[in-house]
Amino acid sequence: MQKKLGSMAAFIVWLALIANPACAAREYWIAADEVQWDYAPSFPLNVMNGKEFTAEQRVFVEQGIGRRYLKSVYREYTQGFRTLKQRGAEEQHLGILGPVIRATVGDEIVVHFKNNTRFPASIHPHGVRYTMANEGAPHSHTAGNEHQPDGVVAPGGEYTYRWGVPERAAPGPNDPSSIAWIYHSHVDESADTNAGLIGAIIITKKGFEKSDRTPADVDREFISLFAVFDENASLHLQTNLPACNGLCDPDNEDFQESNLKHGINGLVYGNNQGYSMRKGERVRWYILGMGTEVDLHSPHWHGATLLHNGNRLDVTEVLPAATKTLDMRPDVAGEWMYHCHVNDHINAGMMTNFIVQ
């Protein structure tokens, strides 16, 4: 009898989830993987002008280690980490960013994490609600004689994070129908993020979400991380050093300069793909920042204007770990420049194009 009651209770819960999918957990299977990353796959061609890289530009794509580095990145898998998920056309622009985690108010985000790298790693979320056991950052708090879990995962290990989505994680009164938060590894935060472990969480306002939690009042979404990846501070510097040609002294300023990769989603000089839209579409841009004191960025869109919390602009600003959400209605067809307006960052390749058809 007790067994039948248990089965009946499970069936009722299942019916409730079907009737109200908002009650279901938003479940993800994400691994930290080691990959060979190419900052400029078009080399020796500069996509922005169709010409070969100049001597000044080659500092960032050929000198020292060059343009290919071993990095740690977040990648999404099917349930149980059976197979790697392939990204669709709408995700092509994400570049080095991890999979987009989506939810709305009342959801529970469940992330099954596997660390396939040689260093400890974690997933630390911004904005959402979590306990210290789900923080993804090391701490020394204990309960009795037992160390409290903190979500830091050793190489080869696995961990499941559970994060709530309260009202304070959702768009505010002046926000559009969705906003972005950052997630990243927080074991050795600077080394982890420079290695590439970063992604975006998008929370959609309750009542504006589709079944997949994308905003119903938007036709296209794009995410851009403006960041100078400092390969001198990456977890993988020592592993990447044997690939160096010529000047390879980690203490040399010229070598250090060659390891500063000024990119949008980890790509430089127009190598981003997938920023494509049509005239008149409702296009939402999520801007992310990360890095250090040089990461003061001013993204600029040519040929269009945007709204940020009701204010009209074509240039915005973003600081490390900060985010912005902006809406665009492109009205002129073309292949438009999209770049950081800081002069040093332009020269180092923090630029690409967006296409309006």
Total number of domains in the chain:
1
For residue 4, being part of any structural domain is answered with no
Note the pLDDT of residue 283: 98
Active site amino acids: 340
pLDDT band at 48 (very low <50, low <70, confident <90, very high): very high
Length of the chain counted residue by residue: 357
For residue 92, being part of any structural domain is answered with yes
For residue 155, being part of any structural domain is answered with no
Q: How far apart are CA 236 and CA 72, in angstroms?
A: 8
Higher pLDDT, 14 or 148: 148
Higher pLDDT, 119 or 150: 119
For residue 2, being part of any structural domain is answered with no
Q: How far apart are CA 183 and CA 214, in angstroms?
A: 18
Taking the CA atoms of the chain, what radius of gyration do you get in angstroms?
A: 22
Is residue 73 classed as helix, strand or coil in its secondary structure? Answer: strand
Note the pLDDT of residue 23: 52
> Does residue 261 register a pLDDT over 70?
yes
What is the rounded average pLDDT for all residues in the chain?
Answer: 92
Tokens of 19: 């009737």
Taking a C-beta distance cutoff of 8 angstroms, is the pair 52, 221 a contact?
no
> Does residue 1 register a pLDDT over 50?
no
Q: How far apart are CA 125 and CA 81, in angstroms?
A: 21
For residue 137, being part of any structural domain is answered with no
Is residue 284 classed as helix, strand or coil in its secondary structure? Answer: strand
Q: Which of 81, 79, 97, 236 is nearest to 157 (CA)?
A: 81
Residues of the chain above pLDDT 70, percent: 91
| Diameter over CA atoms, the chain | 80
Q: Which of 155, 26, 31 is nearest to 81 (CA)?
A: 31
123-141 mean pLDDT: 92
Helix ranges (DSSP H) in 196-262:
237-240, 253-258
Is residue 15 classed as helix, strand or coil in its secondary structure? Answer: helix
> Does residue 316 register a pLDDT over 80?
yes
Taking a C-beta distance cutoff of 8 angstroms, is the pair 128, 228 a contact?
no
> Does residue 118 register a pLDDT over 60?
yes
For residue 248, being part of any structural domain is answered with yes
Taking a C-beta distance cutoff of 8 angstroms, is the pair 279, 357 a contact?
yes
Q: How far apart are CA 257 and CA 274, in angstroms?
A: 29
Give tens-digit pLDDT for 298-314.
999 999 999 999 999 99
Give tens-digit pLDDT for 206-252.
999 999 999 999 999 999 999 999 999 999 999 999 999 877 899 99
Q: Which of 287, 283, 294 is nearest to 331 (CA)?
A: 283
For residue 305, being part of any structural domain is answered with yes
Residues 6+ apart with CB under 8 A from 116: 31, 32, 33, 34, 155, 156
Higher pLDDT, 20 or 270: 270
194-199 mean pLDDT: 98
Note the pLDDT of residue 302: 98
277-286 mean pLDDT: 98
Q: Which domain holds residue 327?
A: 28-103+111-123+171-356
* Residue 263, strand partner residues: 227
pTM here is 0.91
* Residue 32, strand partner residues: 74, 115
Taking a C-beta distance cutoff of 8 angstroms, is the pair 195, 224 a contact?
no
> Does residue 12 register a pLDDT over 60?
no
- Report which secondary-structure segment, H or E, holds 220: strand 220-230
Note the pLDDT of residue 3: 43
CATH value at residue 176:
2.60.40.420
pLDDT band at 143 (very low <50, low <70, confident <90, very high): low
| Residue type at position 282 | R
For residue 72, being part of any structural domain is answered with yes
pLDDT band at 144 (very low <50, low <70, confident <90, very high): low
